[in-house]
Amino acid sequence: MGRSGHACSVLGSLLLLLLLLGPAAAQKGSTWKTLSGDAPAVIAKGGFSGLFPDSSDPAYSFAVSNQDSAQWCDVRLTKDGVGICLPDIKMDNCTTISDLFPKGKKTYRVNGVSTTGWFSVDYNSIDLTNVTLLRAILSRTNRFDGSFTLVQVEVALSQYKAPAWLNVQHDSFYSQFNLSMRSYILSMSKQYTVDYISSPEVSFLKSLVGRVGRKTKLVFRFLDEGLVEPSTNQTYGSMLKNLSSVKTFASGILVPKHYIWPVTADNYLQPSTSVVDDAHKAGLEIYAADFANDFALSYNYSYDPLAEYLRFIDNGAFCVDGLLTDFPITPLEAIA
Ligand SMILES: *[C@@H]1O[C@H](CO)[C@@H](O)[C@H](O)[C@H]1NC(C)=O
Ligand SMILES: *[C@@H]1O[C@H](CO)[C@@H](O)[C@H](O)[C@H]1NC(C)=O
Ligand SMILES: *[C@@H]1O[C@H](CO)[C@@H](O)[C@H](O)[C@H]1NC(C)=O
Ligand SMILES: *[C@@H]1O[C@H](CO)[C@@H](O)[C@H](O)[C@H]1NC(C)=O
Ligand SMILES: *[C@@H]1O[C@H](CO)[C@@H](O)[C@H](O)[C@H]1NC(C)=O
Ligand SMILES: *[C@@H]1O[C@H](CO)[C@@H](O)[C@H](O)[C@H]1NC(C)=O
């Protein structure tokens, strides 16, 4: 945490800005329309990734020390089977790998799609010692680029005193390299408390049912409607019509926020869909993804991220069970 000092002035102005957004008039007491009736959870994607590089130690430490949020880690495996938290399967998207290993570019099939870049499966964990994190979203500050090394999953689980959310975006990809994501995740969940495990792959989640602790929630992640889920060959859009089948292997779903409040091409908000009610009726929790204060918001929110969060949690009709965000402090403000 020695490095967090020089971040203070940036943090100070950011906090001030966020607090100036005004007090929220959210629900109080136990009247939340979540599945459990509890307040919705806030999940910090890669920690406070709106400010620090996603999945960096200060992103996690800052989110943990200042807020009551779950810490999301996108799990990737190295050649020697060590888990690291990284927001993208292409390491060149979010690290300095291409500078350290200029000849490391490879092309692999990722869920059937030919993908070129630098991949963790080509490196042993020790090779990555000097690789540092970069912001993946270029419009954000470059101030912390190259300052922080990669965070191993085990370090995240053992050090950060906060609920842990492990997202496994790819499972079948790693089996091509004889790496078992399932074994790795099961071994982590035996040694540490893992509160949530999410994946967009049905076969992966099914392989965990009954094998993880009773308190670990398995969450099926929906990707864009037209994409094909690799183990069933169904599109995510068609799977959404059969939530009772999802309930057989998951206790919750995670959906892009536009599944709930669609936005027109010219950026106006449409009426909400019935997906939150449908999920709750099927006995599934529903978490909404893709929140960040610096992403283009629908005009209906008048440039106010708080107004957006409130649409998802305090609209009189329904409330999602959690919000996945790069700026955890803002939804916490909306909930408080
Ligand atoms: C990391 O950098 C140090 C200092 O430059 C060097 O001695 C070491 O060999 C490097 N390690 C790896 C794995 O590249
Ligand atoms: C990293 O990937 C994300 C998602 O695909 C993309 O939006 C972003 O522009 C990429 N960033 C860089 C630096 O390549
Ligand atoms: C994976 O294991 C199989 C059987 O042991 C072997 O034939 C194959 O070459 C291995 N693949 C890789 C990428 O190591
Ligand atoms: C999915 O489609 C691919 C290619 O069309 C096929 O090879 C594979 O067997 C199918 N898998 C399932 C589970 O139907
Ligand atoms: C929903 O999925 C279940 C189990 O996969 C299947 O038996 C059922 O026919 C499906 N229902 C519809 C309406 O597609
Ligand atoms: C968003 O704003 C547009 C334009 O004012 C309005 O027509 C539309 O009904 C609003 N959408 C919602 C969901 O309130």
- Using one digit for the tens of pLDDT, what is the confidence trace for 169-222? 999 999 999 999 999 999 999 999 999 999 999 999 999 999 999 999 999 999
Q: Which of 101, 126, 129 to mutate to test the pocket of ligand 1 (most atoms within 8 A of CB)?
A: 129
Given the candidates 3.40.50.300, 3.20.20.190, 3.90.79.10, 3.40.50.1000, the CATH classification of the domain at 33-89+135-335 is: 3.20.20.190
139 lines ligand 3 (CB under 6 A): no
Quick one: pLDDT at residue 30?
61
Where on the phi/psi map is residue 288: left (φ > 0), alpha (ψ -120 to 50), or beta? Answer: beta
pLDDT tens digits, 125-170: 999 999 999 999 999 999 999 999 999 999 999 999 999 999 999 9
Rounded Cα distance between 248 and 45, Å, is: 26
What is the pLDDT averaged over residues 10-30?
Answer: 44
Residue type for position 215: K
Rounded Cα distance between 279 and 247, Å, is: 9
Ligand 4: distance of its center to the CA of 234 in Å?
Answer: 10
Quick one: pLDDT at residue 29?
52
pLDDT tens digits, 273-319: 999 999 999 999 999 999 999 998 999 999 999 999 999 999 999 99
| CB-based burial label for 53 (10 Å; 0-12, 13-18, 19+) | buried
| Residue that is written with structure tokens 């307040």 in the block | 39
What is the pLDDT averaged over residues 97-116?
Answer: 96
pLDDT tens digits, 243-260: 999 999 999 999 999 999
- Which atom of ligand 5 is the closest one to the Cα of 248? 4
**What are the structure tokens assigned to 231, written together?**
């183990």
Entry pTM: 0.90
**What are the structure tokens assigned to 287, written together?**
């978490």
Average pLDDT over the chain, rounded to an integer: 91
- Which atom of ligand 1 is the closest one to the Cα of 128? 13
- Please report, for the chain, the start and end positions of each structural domain, with discontinuous segments joined by +: 33-89+135-335
203 lines ligand 5 (CB under 6 A): no
Element (H, E) at 189: helix 181-191
Ligand 5: distance of its center to the CA of 247 in Å?
Answer: 11
